[in-house]
């Protein structure tokens, strides 16, 4: 079996868990200028210098794609990765008066309202934004959609085949006794996939039923860890993992990177009746030292070269749906036809209380 690590693998080599990692990328000099004297990457005004991208520890981009942007813009790109998506927003809020960088990537639709409400972002909308991306815009230009994916329960086909146990299909199935002690998920207080899954249960069971559902999961032996990497690579029995649990919270794209040697099948699968759609955004940080560089960087993230790089590097769908997807994604990495949904205004109004109630129900 050939296993390709889904989402988070590259960054884990340098920034495990929620530790802070500063990754300085090689600089490429020689910016080009348009006739009006502005840098060719867009955004207008003064350009060049160093621009710092604050992101989660799953961010990845091909070296040649980044180098081409640096050469065209005259910018040197540095990265700071405070951890998972939840840790990212927490750090942005704590440092908003003296921000860690100039631009941010990785604020998703579950934490977006907090970032906007706390004033950590400066409005900016790229001049070129695809219609498919624009429909996911949140706020008044503070956040620009870059990629999306469905957070779903993943299953280790091999384990279930060997044990002779039928695989679960629905959220309700996960509470059945035959799946006791088989599921690992991430904490919604520290993990954006964890929060996405909490929202999936709110969407599925409603305000009056989601806590009872989590009580049933707790009694059925669900394990909770802080971050996606521990869940997928330590506790999960599929993919590269040698853990004891054959059910894990991950993404619908993850099975495209656990293919058999001949590429005709995957050893894992996503349960598409358990999903919540996560959309990741970029933005310019308020009080940035290089706001013009930040705007150019946001332009780059929604541009053709980066969007085409997203599937193979971050294992998400590009927000621009005109981008060609890797071979096999239609079969092994489909999006859910009907993911569970919670309105952004409901998330904004209830997120913190839902997390507190979840913690009291599952952890305390």
Same domain, 163 and 143: no
- Please say if the pLDDT value at position 33 is more than 80: no
Tokens 């384990």 appear where?
A: 159
Which CATH number covers residue 203?
Answer: 3.40.190.10
**pLDDT tens-digit readout, 68-116:** 999 999 999 999 998 777 789 989 999 999 999 999 999 999 889 889 9
H-helix segments, the chain: 9-12, 63-73, 85-94, 112-117, 131-134, 157-163, 192-205, 210-219, 228-230, 291-301, 304-314, 329-332, 344-362
- Lowest-confidence region among 11-20, 112-121, 136-145, 267-276: 11-20
Same domain, 39 and 126: yes
Residues forming a β-bridge with 281: 107, 145
1 is a domain residue: no
Same domain, 174 and 226: yes
- Please say if the pLDDT value at position 173 is more than 60: yes
26 is a domain residue: yes
2 is a domain residue: no
Q: What is the mean pLDDT of residues 321-340?
A: 94
Same domain, 137 and 255: no
- Please say if the pLDDT value at position 272 is more than 50: yes
321 is a domain residue: yes
250 is a domain residue: yes
CA distances from 21 to 8, 14, 57, 82, 151 (A): 14, 7, 9, 7, 25
Domains contained in the chain, number? 2
Instruction: Label the pairing between strands 21-24 and 317-318.
Output: unpaired
201 is a domain residue: yes
- Rg of the chain's alpha carbons, rounded to an integer? 20
Tokens 């990754």 appear where?
A: 23
Helix/strand/coil for 151 = strand
Q: What is the mean pLDDT of residues 329-345?
A: 93
Same domain, 35 and 133: yes
Helix/strand/coil for 82 = strand
Same domain, 349 and 317: no
Same domain, 169 and 58: no
CA distances from 66 to 5, 69, 78, 305, 306 (A): 21, 5, 11, 9, 8
- At residue 11, the pLDDT reads 31
- At residue 85, the pLDDT reads 74
Q: What is the pTM of this model?
A: 0.80
Taking the C-alpha atoms of residue 96 and residue 113, their distance in angstroms, rounded to an integer, is 15
319 is a domain residue: yes
Same domain, 75 and 107: yes
Tokens representing 258 are 């656990």
Residue 265 backbone dihedrals phi, psi, to 5 degrees = -150, 165
Tokens representing 28 are 């490429």
How many angstroms from the chain centroid is the CA of residue 238?
20
- Please say if the pLDDT value at position 10 is more than 60: no
Nearest alpha-carbon partner for 4 in 312, 336, 325: 312
Domain that holds residue 248: 150-276+331-362
4 is a domain residue: no
**pLDDT tens-digit readout, 120-153:** 999 999 999 999 999 998 889 999 999 999 999 9
Per-chain mean pLDDT for the chain: 87
Same domain, 215 and 261: yes
Angle at 96 between CA 90 and CA 100, to 5 degrees: 80
**pLDDT tens-digit readout, 192-248:** 889 999 999 999 999 999 999 999 999 999 999 998 889 999 999 998 778 999 999
Instruction: Label the pairing between strands 183-186 and 223-225.
Output: parallel
Same domain, 118 and 259: no
pLDDT higher for 20 or 109? 109
Taking the C-alpha atoms of residue 294 and residue 225, their distance in angstroms, rounded to an integer, is 34
Q: Quick one: three-class SS letters along 105-133?
A: EEEECCCHHHHHHCCCEECCCCCCCCHHH
Same domain, 271 and 157: yes
Same domain, 105 and 160: no
Instruction: Label the pairing between strands 183-186 and 103-108.
Output: unpaired
Number of other residues whose CB lies within 10 A of the CB of residue 32: 11
DSSP 258-277: SB-TTSS-BSEEE-TBS-EE
Q: What is the mean pLDDT of residues 253-259?
A: 93
């Amino acid at each position: 079996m050939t296993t390709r690590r889904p989402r988070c693998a590259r960054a884990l080599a340098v920034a495990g868990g929620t530790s802070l990692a500063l990754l300085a990328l090689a600089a490429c000099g020689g910016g080009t200028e348009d006739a009006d004297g502005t840098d060719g990457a867009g955004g207008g005004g003064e350009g060049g210098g160093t621009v710092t991208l604050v992101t989660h520890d799953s961010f990845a981009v091909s070296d040649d794609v980044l180098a081409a942007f640096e050469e065209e813009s005259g910018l040197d790109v540095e990265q700071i990765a405070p951890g998972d998506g939840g840790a990212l927003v927490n750090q942005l809020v704590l440092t908003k008066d003296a921000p860690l960088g100039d631009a941010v990537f990785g604020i998703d639709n579950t934490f977006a309202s907090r970032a906007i409400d706390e004033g950590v972002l400066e409005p900016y909308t790229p001049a070129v934004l695809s219609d498919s991306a624009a429909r996911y815009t949140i706020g008044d230009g503070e956040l620009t959609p870059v990629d999306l994916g469905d957070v779903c329960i993943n299953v280790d086909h091999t384990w279930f085949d060997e044990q002779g146990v039928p695989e679960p299909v629905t959220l309700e199935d996960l509470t059945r006794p035959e799946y006791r002690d088989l599921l690992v998920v991430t904490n919604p207080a520290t993990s954006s996939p964890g929060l996405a899954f909490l929202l999936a249960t709110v969407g599925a069971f409603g305000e009056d039923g989601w806590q009872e559902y989590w009580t049933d999961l707790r009694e059925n032996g669900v394990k909770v860890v802080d971050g996606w990497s521990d869940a997928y690579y330590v506790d999960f029995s599929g993919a590269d993992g040698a853990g004891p649990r054959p059910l894990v919270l991950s993404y619908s794209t993850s099975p495209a990177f656990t293919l058999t040697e001949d590429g005709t099948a995957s050893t894992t699968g996503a349960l598409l009746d358990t999903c919540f759609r996560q959309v990741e955004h970029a933005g310019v940080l308020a009080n940035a030292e290089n706001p013009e560089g930040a705007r150019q960087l946001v332009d780059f993230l929604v541009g053709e070269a980066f969007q085409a790089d997203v599937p193979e590097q971050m294992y998400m769908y590009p927000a621009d749906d005109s981008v060609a997807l890797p071979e096999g994604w239609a079969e092994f990495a489909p999006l859910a036809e009907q993911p569970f949904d919670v309105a952004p205004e409901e998330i904004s109004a209830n997120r913190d209380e839902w997390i507190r109630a979840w913690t009291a129900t599952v952890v305390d």
